[in-house]
Structure 1
C-alpha cells in the first residue's frame, strides 16, 4: 500500500486538535527556515515517473463494453471486483490496457503494487503506473497519451487533494474519454474519494466524525466538485476506511453540507462509505455488486434541521443501507426501501450507526 500523508492516515483515537496541528505545522516551517540551505528538495516533487508492465504495445480493440467502475475502501486492488470490471469492459474477449495514477511512490516494496495485482488477472495486455507528484504533471503529454489509449484507469491510495488538483489539467478530460468510449475508472481510499461527484478533498487536513458533527463547516471539511460525474453515480460523496476509522458521522455531515450548499441536485445527497477491503463493482447499468468488507449508502433527502458554521449538526432520519459481500445496490434506479434510520441531534448521533433493522413498510 502507498504511504499516506499523516493527515489522511492517522488512527481516529490519535487525531490531534486543529490547534496542535497548526502549531506543529508552524514548527516544521520554522525548522525548515533554520535549516536553510541544508533543506533538500522534497523527494515527492520528483519528475513524473512511468513504469509499464506487460506488453509494450497497446491492445488493439474496436469496441468496449463498459463503462465499469470499482470503488474501494482501501488503496489496494481488490481482485474480485477488478476482474469483473476488466471482463465487463472487454466484453469477455480480447485484452485491454490499464493505467494506474498515483501522486506518490510506494514507501517500500514493489514500485508498482497495483499493477502487480492487475497483471495477474486474465484479459490484461499491459498495466502502466504513472507517479505524478505535481499538479502540473496532469498535463504530461505521455501520461495523457497512455490514459487515452487505456481502457481502465485506477487512482491509487494516497492524498486526494493532489488528485483534485488535476481537475484543471488535461488529465481530467483524458480519464473522462476512457469512460466515454466504454472503458472504466476506479480507485481505492484517496482514489475512491476522487471518483464521486462531490469529492471530500482533505486539502486542509483530515477531519474526524466528532469534529464534523460538532461543526459541519469546520475548515477541514472542504470539497471539490466538477471533477468527474460518472453515469448513474450522480449526487454521491465517497468515503473510505469507513468502519475502521468510524467515519459514519463525518459522512452524515458531508451529506448535510451537500444538501445545504446545493452541491448535489434534486434535494438528495448520497454518501457511499466503503470499509477497508471492500470494493463496489458498478456496471454500465449502474448496478453495484460488493466484494469483501461492508459498504454503507447514506441518503439525506431533506434540508438539514441545523447546518450552520460553528454549531453542531442536527439532521433527522438519514436512510442507511448496509451492504455485505455479494449484495447489490442499484445506483441507476435507487431503492426506496431496505434502509434503517439514524439521526443526529446537536452533534450527537443515535447509537449503533453501523447496524440496524431495515424498514420494510416503505
Structure 2
C-alpha cells in the first residue's frame, strides 16, 4: 500500500443491507486493525444498523483499532448520523426550516468512547455547511437525540482534512480545516449550570440564542499557563449581546460590550498563573432577543 506500518488492505463493496450479515465480510472486518468507510451514501451505511457488521466494526475499536472515513464515511461514525435518506439539505434550507423533510437522522449505530452527543458533517468549508450543522445540533437538543442535553458538531473539510481521536479522548487536527462546535443546552443561565466546553478543540465554536432581554448563557472552559484565549462572537441583527470572560468565582477579567444590534464582540485573555485554570464565557443580552443563533469561535494560542 505504500503506507508506513500497513501491510495489507481488503476492500468490500456491499450492495444490500443484508450484506452486513455476510460471514466472510465480518471475518475480514474483525481481523482488521482499522475500518475505513469510503465516501458515497451514508443512508446505505445506516442500513447496516443492527446487522453483524455493526458489532464487527465495534470489535475492531474495542481491541485497540480504529474506525473512520471520508464524506459519508465520516457521517456514519458519529452517534447521531445525518443519514440523508430523504435527500441532501443545504445550509440555507436547514436554517430556514430545521424540520425540512430532507433532514433525517439515524441514532444508536456506533457509540465511541469520548465521542458522545456528536453529529458529523463533511465538505465543511467548500460547501458552506456550518449553517446546516447548527440546525442539526438544534434538532438534536430539541428532540432529545443527545441524552446529555447538549450536542457537539464535528465538521471536516475535504481535500485531506481529518480529526483523529485517540483512546484517551484527545483530538488532533491534521491536514485542512476541522471544526468542533458546541450547541447551547438550557438551562445554562448560571455558572453552576454552564455548558461544558472544557473538551472543545481549538479553534472551536459555541453557539446559542438570547431567548429574552434578560437571558445570559454560560460556558465553562479551561486554559493552561502561558496560553492565550481569543474569543470572536458573531451576533445576529435580532439583538445586542455582550461577552464577558470570567474567573472561576465569576469575577470579570475581560469584556467586550460593543454597542448596537448585530455588533460582533471579541476579547483576548492570557493566563499567567501556573497550572490550568477554569474560566467561564458569559454571553448576555443587552437589548433585544430572539432565537437567531450567535456563534463564538474560541481559539487557544
Runs of 4+ in 1 over 4 A off after TM superposition: 319-322, 334-340, 342-346, 350-353, 356-361
Partner of 1:28: none
Q: CA RMSD in A?
A: 2.9
CA contact (8 A) 1:295 1:322 kept: no
- Number of paired residues? 217
Partner of 1:13: none
CA contact (8 A) 1:259 1:303 kept: no
1:243 to 1:126, Cα distance in 2 relative to 1, 3 A: same
1:284 aligns with 2:284: no
Partner of 2:75: 193
Task: Find the aligned partners of 1:295 and 1:258 in 2 and give their Cα distance.
Answer: 21
1:139 aligns with 2:21: yes
SS at match of 1:186: strand
Task: Find the aligned partners of 2:45 and 2:173 in 1 and give their Cα distance.
Answer: 25
The 5 A counterparts of 1:35-46 are: none
Partner of 1:294: 177
Structure 2 residue corresponding to 1:206, chosen from 62, 84, 88 = 88
Partner of 2:106: 224
CA contact (8 A) 1:271 1:297 kept: yes
SS at match of 1:163: helix
1:176 aligns with 2:71: no
1:218 to 1:235, Cα distance in 2 relative to 1, 3 A: same
Partner of 1:72: none
Partner of 1:105: none
Structure 1 residue corresponding to 2:121, chosen from 227, 232, 239 = 239
SS at match of 2:106: strand
- The CA deviation at 1:359 is 6.2
Task: Find the aligned partners of 1:214 and 1:180 in 2 and give their Cα distance.
Answer: 41
- The CA deviation at 1:351 is 8.9
The C-alpha deviation readout for 1:42-74, integer Å capped at 9, x for no partner, is xxxxxxxxxxxxxxxxxxxxxxxxxxxxxxxxx
TM-score, length of structure 1 as denominator length = 0.55
SS at match of 1:128: coil
Partner of 1:33: none
SS at match of 2:131: helix
- Normalized per residue, the structure richer in strand is 2
The C-alpha deviation readout for 1:185-212, integer Å capped at 9, x for no partner, is 1111000000011100000000000100
The C-alpha deviation readout for 1:299-352, integer Å capped at 9, x for no partner, is 112249xxxxxxxxxxxx9x886649xxxxxxxxx9557564446688xxx999
| Gaps in structure 2 of 5+ consecutive residues | 188-194, 205-219, 224-228, 239-260, 270-278, 281-301
CA contact (8 A) 1:212 1:249 kept: yes
Task: Find the aligned partners of 1:352 and 1:150 in 2 and give their Cα distance.
Answer: 52
CA contact (8 A) 1:273 1:295 kept: yes
Task: Find the aligned partners of 1:182 and 1:173 in 2 and give their Cα distance.
Answer: 15
1:358 to 1:210, Cα distance in 2 relative to 1, 3 A: farther
SS at match of 1:126: coil
CA contact (8 A) 1:268 1:300 kept: yes
1:335 to 1:193, Cα distance in 2 relative to 1, 3 A: farther
